[in-house]
Amino acid sequence: MSHVTPEPLTAAGFAAFGRVHDLGVDGPDVRLTKGPDWLDGFTLPPLIDGRGHLGMTRAPAAPWTCRQMERHPLTEEALFCAGAPIVLAVAPPSAADAPDAAAIRAFVIQPGQVAVMNRNVWHDACCGLDGPTAYYWMAICGLGPDPWVAPDAGPVEIRP
């Protein structure tokens, strides 16, 4: 079985899959406000295109075996953690019926970062980098089934 080592989430590294917002850095897409002992950051554009639903997933710790992935043709999906880093495994969007196992990559999302996946990007559920954790997601729900599909060349182990 092949394996993938997660890389840090950066805008350049994640560009083939979507976009990244860093809520701790003032910039063209994020506005920061500061108080005497707090820092607040928010996205200037809407997080996803459309009226999204907020969800939370409780996940085990990495490493894990990526056996199935899903994709969403009708919505973007944003993923973000609160207290602990998470690992996201993705594969490029395609017209194929299954994700390309050889193209799977993994990214570590740190608290304060948001990964917004483009439509049709294949992805697994995230896992905690350092232990079991919960993370949040935002997408438009109820648009139809998004079946989980095995990668075309078998499972891939995600090992931090």
Residues 55-98: pLDDT tens digits?
999 999 999 999 999 999 999 999 999 899 999 999 999 989 99
Which pLDDT belongs to residue 1? Answer: 87
Which pLDDT belongs to residue 95? Answer: 87
Has domain 2-158 been given CATH number 3.30.1370.60? no
pTM: 0.96
- Please compute, for residue 90, the number of CA atoms within 13 A of its CA located in the half-sphere on the CB side: 27
Residue 121 has pLDDT above 90, yes or no: yes
Which pLDDT belongs to residue 74? Answer: 97
Mean of pLDDT over the chain:
96
Which pLDDT belongs to residue 141? Answer: 97
pLDDT band at 107 (very low <50, low <70, confident <90, very high): very high
Task: Judge whether 123 and 117 are in contact, CB under 8 Å.
Answer: yes
Angle CA(28)–CA(33)–CA(38) in degrees, nearest 5?
135
Residues 11-21: pLDDT tens digits?
999 999 999 99
With b for 16 or more beta-carbon neighbours within 10 A and e for fewer, the 100-110 pattern comes to: ebeebbbbbbe
Residues 16-40: pLDDT tens digits?
999 999 999 999 999 999 999 999 9
Q: Name the 3-class secondary structure at 153.
A: coil
> For the chain, what are the domain ranges?
2-158
| Averaged pLDDT, 35-58 | 96
